[in-house]
Structure 1
Amino acid sequence: MTAADVSLGRALVEEATKKSGLIWVRGSGPARALWHVWHEGAALLVGDGPGEQPLSAGLDAGGTAEVTVRSKDKGGRLVAWTAAVAVLEPHSQEWEAAVAELRGKRLNAPDAERMTERWARECRVLRLTPGASRTELPETSLAAAPLPTGATTRHPAPAALPRLLLKRRGKKR
């Protein structure tokens, strides 16, 4: 691999990750779709606290994670890369810089005024720094069953619903 290939690979990782709203991150557990902010050559994440996104298991300081970036337009995989995981210490200089970026992108926070104090107390802020090489994308879909959650309410459709929908469609004509 030439130096030009490495530079192009880094540029692809950076641009794709910057533009994507979600990245799929896998530590030692299943991959999770996580919102992030790209800042100073790394993806920044906040989570594992009340009201915040659950982070993938195994994202510990000094560990690695597999990151897959999707296309914002089509939703398909663009690039996959291996990241070095760093857990930022609350109120350190790195943590303050990361939180300043994350705070601006956090939508619908219930406590926007006290959000950073809550993050310092109850959450983890991670920095995922790309390694020197990219991971080859697999040929298969890697589709997996959704993770269990109490938020799913799957019930059969009422028997009369198709009749009601067809009746409305007929009246509009």
Structure 2
Amino acid sequence: MTSELLDRALVEEATKKSGLIWVRGADAPAARALWHVWHEGAACLVGDGPGEQPLPGLTDGGAAEVTVRSKDKGGRLIAWSARTVELAPGSEAWEAVVAELKGKRLNAPDGEAMTERWARECRVLRLEPTGATTPPPDGSLAEVPLPTPATTRQPIPAGLPRLLFKGRKRRG
């Protein structure tokens, strides 16, 4: 009983303090870094809408694996299993969670109208701990990066250094 309470306290404290959590849904190919807030015993997320974080593999009633990193060193602190609960827009629980999420959302394109957009176009999820924690791994957890349309930088144009340093004079 004592170890269960300690695990629950560690899950809550570590998740509260971490700005990002790594979440892997049941059908997701890899874990994703997601911003969240801790509210009433669960990690709460908003996403799957225009301009918001994707939530692949997270379905209502589904399972998820959450890994929490250290805020200062970035290393893995604890991994825990969760049950995903999707909150209905406009419900009392949705309103309470959105009030917390709204304060943490950085650079929202629509400011105060963000909550109305979330109600129309996004999903708000609670990741409720099931009590199961995963022991630390023996090896590396490195994974192949997710596919992206981003490209590697090309060599800079030959004339660019002259344009950048044109106004500077040598002091001798």
Shift of 1:153: 2.7
1:54 match: 54
2:31 match: 31
Cα distance in 2, alignment partners of residues 97 and 159 from structure 1: 53
1:155 match: 153
Determine if the alignment matches structure 1 residue 123 to structure 2 residue 122: yes
Determine if the alignment matches structure 1 residue 10 to structure 2 residue 8: yes
Percentage of pairs with the same residue: 69
Cα distance in 1, alignment partners of residues 132 and 144 from structure 2: 29
Structure 2 residues not aligned, in runs of 5+ = 159-169
Cα distance in 2, alignment partners of residues 102 and 12 from structure 1: 22
1:166 match: none
Deviations 1:134-167 (A, max 9, x none): 11121222111221222x230354597xxxxxxx
With 122-131 and 133-142 compared, the bigger mean Cα shift is at 133-142
1:165 match: none
Shift of 1:58: 2.0
Cα distance in 1, alignment partners of residues 92 and 127 from structure 2: 17
Cα distance in 2, alignment partners of residues 71 and 156 from structure 1: 35
Structure 1 residues not aligned, in runs of 5+ = 161-170
Cα distance in 2, alignment partners of residues 147 and 75 from structure 1: 20
Deviations 1:77-130 (A, max 9, x none): 000000010000000111000100000000000101110010000000000011
**Where in structure 1 do 4 or more consecutive aligned residues deviate above 6 Å?**
none
Q: Which amino acid aligns with 2:107?
A: N
1:45 match: 45
Report the aligned-residue RMSD: 1.9
1:98 match: 97
Q: Which amino acid aligns with 2:47?
A: G
Shift of 1:132: 1.6
1:168 match: none
1:163 match: none
- Give the count of matched residue pairs: 160
Relative to the length of structure 1, the TM-score reads 0.86
Deviations 1:29-72 (A, max 9, x none): 121000000011100000000010111x2211111100000001
Cα distance in 2, alignment partners of residues 132 and 68 from structure 1: 14
